[in-house]
């Protein structure tokens, strides 16, 4: 039985992970900004956390680890998205995306890492995104933030060396959740972008509806938790997204990558 701290546990991928882990006998401290959204189940403890607030991150970790005694696993999963032209993105919006998707999660990772290093073991799973490598048009701040967390994760992997604390970069592709419904769309646009924005959103919605469900990610998380030597990075999604596209794009020049993504989103 593992004691797990999981952010963003009230919906989507986080909810699926929490349900599976609790069902497998693990104990989960799941976070949300609204504790009423956390299901009341045996083995599931609700923790209030707002990644936009540094003090909230410190207090949430302190509360949870005091209650749990220790954590063997941290899953940085909570997220938020913004959709709109990069040219017109307010600095406040970009800063907000980075606070939630990068700074808040790094802060929590550092707290957990210090705690786990003292114990001599642990596992941290950072849920980034394939968008860090295959960016989605009009989600520049989201793409960049996910790429930043992926790069930070790899840097720590280099630095830890032979430590028994393992860190995994888990990169989901398109997963069918309510994420799109919570994505904030820019009120300020420009007519030059209108047609491209409409086409991109149409593709994003269509792809999301036909994507695998969050249980797929949850099953991969369970495998990582049970693994003696978890891989440093995994991609999760349909076969094309998780295996074929990353392999192809790794060897293509940037001009061809851009051409392929423009064709995919019909822009």
N residues, the chain? 267
What whole-number distance in Å separates Cα of residue 233 and Cα of residue 237?
14
- Note whether 34 and 10 are within 8 A (CB): yes
Indicate which residue of 19, 142, 193, 265 is catalytic. Answer: 142
- Annotated catalytic residue, options 3, 146, 193, 265: 146
The rounded distance, in Å, linking the Cα atoms of 246 and 249 is 5
Residue 262 is a catalytic residue: no
Is 70 a residue of the active site? no
What is the DSSP pairing of strand 165-172 with strand 122-127? parallel
Rounded to the nearest 5°, which phi and psi values hold at 27? -110, 130
User: In degrees rounded to 5, what are phi and psi of residue 210?
Assistant: -100, 5
Nearest to 32 by CA among 47, 16, 17: 47
The rounded distance, in Å, linking the Cα atoms of 158 and 73 is: 19
**The 122-127 sheet, strands edge to edge:** 44-48, 27-32, 3-6, 73-76, 122-127, 165-172, 233-236
How far apart are alpha carbons 60 and 74 in whole angstroms? 13
- Active-site residues, by number, are 142, 146
């Amino acid at each position: 039985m593992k004691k797990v701290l999981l952010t963003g546990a009230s919906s989507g991928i986080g909810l699926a992970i929490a349900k599976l882990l609790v069902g497998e006998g693990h104990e989960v401290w799941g976070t949300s900004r609204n504790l009423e959204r956390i299901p009341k189940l045996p083995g599931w403890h609700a923790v209030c956390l707002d990644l936009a607030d540094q003090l909230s991150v410190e207090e949430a970790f302190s509360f949870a680890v005091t209650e749990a005694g220790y954590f063997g696993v941290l899953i940085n999963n909570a997220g938020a998205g913004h959709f709109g032209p990069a040219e017109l993105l307010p600095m406040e919006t970009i800063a907000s995306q980075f606070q939630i998707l990068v700074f808040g999660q790094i802060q929590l990772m550092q707290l957990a890492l210090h705690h786990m290093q003292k114990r001599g073991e642990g596992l941290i799973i950072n849920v980034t995104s394939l968008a860090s490598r295959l960016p989605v048009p009009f989600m520049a701040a989201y793409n960049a933030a996910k790429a930043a967390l992926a790069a930070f994760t790899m840097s720590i992997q280099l630095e830890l060396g032979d430590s028994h604390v393992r860190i995994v970069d888990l990169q989901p592709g398109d997963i069918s959740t309510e994420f799109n419904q919570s994505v904030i769309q820019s009120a300020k646009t420009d007519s030059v972008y209108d047609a491209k924005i409409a086409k991109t959103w149409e593709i994003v919605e269509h792809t999301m509806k036909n994507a695998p469900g969050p249980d797929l990610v949850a099953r991969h998380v369970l495998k990582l938790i049970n693994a003696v030597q978890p891989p440093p990075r995994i991609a999760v999604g349909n076969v094309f997204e998780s295996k074929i596209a990353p392999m192809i794009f790794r060897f293509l020049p940037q001009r061809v990558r851009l051409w392929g993504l423009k064709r995919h989103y019909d822009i």
